[in-house]
Chains A and B, each alone.
Chain A
C-alpha cells in the first residue's frame, strides 16, 4: 500500500510538473477550437455570391419563389436539424449570399441562352419552373456543380411548400387557410422513466452517449498509451530492477496506472472547467440550459463506467509495454485494445435504437464492451438492476484478473531486454512468476 501510493505520487507529480503537461493542458482547448472553427471559416471564405436565375412564366410567382428562397437561405442553419420547422426570420443569416433573378420566358431558346451563361460563369445556375414542370411536379435545378445533398433537400423542401401553396391558392384557398393546411407537424419524443414522463429529446440522449464514447476513446488512447510508454521507459532506463527490489510488480503496475490515470483526469477536469468558463456563457445564449441537465444517476454511471473502462484498457496497455521493447512494437499490438473499442462503437447504434434487443443486452455484459454499451443502455432506458450489477461485477472481476495476470507478465517481461516476447514465452512467464 505504501509503495503503491509512493509510485502513484511519483507518476502523478513528475508528469504534472512538466512544461509539456502545462502546455498541452492549456493549449489543447485553444487548438481544438481553432481546428473546429478554421475549416468552417475556410470553407465559407472562398464562397462567392451565388447568382441564380428562376425561370417561370408568371413574374408574380417568380417573385414569390425569389422571396421564399432568400428568406429560407437566411434560416438555413436552423432548418437543418429540425425538419419541417417554420422559417425563422430572426436567426442570423448564413454566410452564403445569393442573388436571385426572375426570368419570365420559359422557352427552349432561353434555356439554351441560360445554359451558355452558366458555362461562361455569368450565372451560377438556374431553376426551371415552367408550367409543365410544375404540373408534373418535376423541376430542374441546373448548375456547374452538382448540388450537395443538404442543399438539394433544402431546395426541394422549399419548392414543395411554394408549389403546394400555389396549387392551394389557385383552388380558392385564402392565404391563412393555405398556411393552416401547410402547417408542419412536429413529433415530440417523450420518455417514460419509472412511470414519469421526461421530456428528453433523443438527440440529447445520443449526445450523452457520444460524449462518453469520445471521452473513453480519448482517455484510453491518450493516457493508456502513456502507461505503455512509461513502462517501456522504465524498462529501457533499467530503473525497474531497483524498484522491483523494493516493490512488487503488482504495486508498480497499479501505481503506474492510477498515477497516469490521475494525470489524465486532472487534464479532463481542467478542460471541463475551461469549457464551463469560456463556452457555457455563449452556449447559454442560444440554448435553454435546463435542457442540458443530466440526471445524477447517469452522471454516476458515467463516472463509474468511464473509470472502470479506463482501468481495464490501461492494464492492457501496461501489459503490452511489459512484453515489448520499443514503442513501435507496442503500437503494433495496439489492435488488441482498439478492436473492442471499435466493436462497441459499431454496436452503439443498435444499443441506442433497441436497448432491449438480446444481442445488445448480452454484449453489454461483456467486460471490454460494457463501458460503452451498458452506459448507453442506462442513458437510453434504464435496464433491470441485475443486468447493471452483473455487468459491473464482470467488469470489476475482469479488471482484477487482468491486473493479476498483467502483473505477472510485467514481472518477468520487465527484466527481459532486447526482444519482444512470443505468445508461448508469455505463457511460460506466467508460470515462472508463480510464487
Chain B
C-alpha cells in the first residue's frame, strides 16, 4: 500500500478495465467493457464462445492493446513493468516440443525474472505435486496432452505471480487433473493471489469464483460479486416443509407463485422480495421443518440476461 493512503483504506483493484474497446476490422470483439477485480479473489470471465473473453484477457496482460479505454493494474496504467507479476495460461496451449520439461519450466520462470537455481527448485516442488517428477527430464513431446497441460500450468505460476490469468484452464483436462488444478487454484487464492479465469462453463464458475463478469458479444451483461448478482437476480425460490397455517403462501408482496409437492412446497418469490421476511411470516404461523433458499443457477441468470431485448 502506498504511504499516502492512510486516510481511506481503499483496496486497490488488482485489475481494472475502464471502457475498453477492441475491434478487428468490422468485428467488435470487446465493446466498452469495464470491470474491477479485487485482490485475493477468484474472478470468472464468463460467456459463450466468441464473446470476447480471450481478447479481454490478452488486453489485461498486455499482449494486445485496446483501441480505446484503459487497463489499470495494481492501480497503475498497464505497462511492461507489470509483466513479471503476471502468470498467463493461454487457451491455445503450447510448449517447445523438443525441450525437456525441467529446462522448459526454468526458461519460462527465467523470463519472469527468477534465477535458474530458484526456478529449478520450485519446478521440482510443483512437478512432485502434480506427479510429474518421473517426467522431469523427458522431452515435452513425450508427455501426454494432460501432462503437457499440467506443465503449462506450472510454467504460469512458477514465479509466484500476484495475478494469475487463465484462459479456459479446465478445458481438455480429465476429472482427476481438473481436481488437482482446482485445488491448486484455491490454495493460491488463499495465499492472497488474484486469479482471473475465463470459462464458458457456468457450473464451474459457480463453484469456484467469488466474482464474475458475464459477457456476451463483447459487452458485459453482469458484473460483480457472485452472491450479490444472485441476490439481485430477483427470481428466488424457497423450498419449505411446514406444519400448520399456510397463510404465508398467500402474501402477494412476497410470493409470486407456489407449487405444493406434497412433502414440501416450492415458492417462487416476487422480484426483489426478501427471503427473511417470508421466513418470519412462516415462523409466526406454522412450524417449520425445512426452509431452504434455492439460489438460481448462473446458467438461468445468463440466459435470462442475454434474452432481454436490450442485451
Contact = CB atoms under 8 A, between A and B. Distances in A.
Interface string B42-75: 0000000000000000100111110000000000
Interface string A221-243: 00000000000001001111111
Interface in A200-255: 234, 237-248
A245 B83 contact: yes
Contacts of B86: 245
A241 B94 contact: yes
Contact of B111 (A3, A240, A434, A435): A3
Given A242-B152, A246-B108, A237 B95 contact: yes
- Interface centre among B63, B80, B99, by most chain A C-beta atoms within 10 angstroms, is B63
A14 interface: yes
A415 B111 contact: no
A242 B65 contact: no
A432 interface: yes
B129 interface: no
Given A14-B99, A432-B65, A435-B65, A241 B90 contact: yes
A283 to B, nearest CB: 39
Contacts of A243: 111
B177 interface: no
Contacts of A244: 63
Interface residues of A, number: 26
A238 B63 contact: no
B98 interface: yes
Contact of B63 (A10, A245, A434): A245
B277 interface: no
Contacts of B99: 10, 14
A194 interface: no
- Interface centre among A240, A243, A245, by most chain B C-beta atoms within 10 angstroms, is A245
Nearest to A237: B94
A233 to B, nearest CB: 8
B168 to A, nearest CB: 13
Nearest to B167: A241
A110 to B, nearest CB: 76
B105 to A, nearest CB: 12
Contacts of A2: 110, 113
A248 B110 contact: no
A6 interface: yes
Nearest to A417: B92
B112 interface: yes
A159 B12 CA distance: 100
Nearest to A424: B25
B170 interface: no
A2 to B, nearest CB: 7
Contact of B94 (A3, A18, A242): A242
A239 B96 contact: yes
Interface string B85-120: 010111011111111000000011011110000000
A242 B90 contact: yes
Contact of A14 (B63, B90, B98): B98
Nearest to A15: B98
Interface string B149-184: 000100110000000000000000000000000000
A415 B84 CA distance: 21
B87 to A, nearest CB: 8
Contacts of B25: 428
B83 A238 contact: no
Given A246-B112, A248-B80, A241 B63 contact: yes
Contacts of A435: 65
A274 B25 CA distance: 55
B101 to A, nearest CB: 14
A435 B67 CA distance: 10
A322 B93 CA distance: 19
Contact of B83 (A18, A246, A434): A246
A239 B83 CA distance: 17
Nearest to A243: B111
Contacts of B112: 246
Interface string A148-190: 0000000000000000000000000000000000000000000
B111 A247 contact: yes
A243 B89 CA distance: 10
Contacts of A10: 96, 99, 107
Nearest to A241: B90
A24 to B, nearest CB: 16
Contacts of B65: 432-435
B64 A415 contact: yes
A417 B92 CA distance: 11
Given A10-B107, A415-B63, A242 B97 contact: no
Given A2-B113, A432-B65, A237 B107 contact: no
B264 to A, nearest CB: 51
Interface in B202-249: none
A433 B62 CA distance: 11
Interface in B118-136: none
B80 A237 contact: no
A248 B99 CA distance: 21
Contacts of B95: 237, 239, 242
B94 A238 contact: yes
B90 A238 contact: yes
Given A14-B96, A237-B94, A237-B95, A242 B64 contact: no
Interface string A245-268: 111100000000000000000000
Contacts of B88: 241-242, 245
A322 to B, nearest CB: 15
A6 B110 contact: yes
Interface string A116-150: 00000000000000000000000000000000000
Contact of A242 (B80, B98, B108): B108
B133 to A, nearest CB: 22
Nearest to B93: A238
Contact of A6 (B61, B62, B97, B107): B107
A248 B113 CA distance: 14
Considering the complex of A and B, which 9 residue pairs feature the smallest CB-CB distances, nearest first? A238-B94, A245-B88, A239-B94, A246-B111, A238-B92, A241-B90, A237-B94, A244-B63, A245-B61
Given A3-B111, A242-B89, A242-B108, 5 more contacts: A241-B94, A242-B88, A242-B152, A242-B155, A246-B111
12 contacts: A6-B111, A10-B96, A14-B99, A18-B98, A238-B93, A242-B95, A242-B108, A242-B155, A245-B88, A248-B80, A428-B25, A434-B65
Interface of B: 25, 58, 61-65, 80, 83-84, 86, 88-90, 92-99, 107-108, 110-113, 152, 155-156
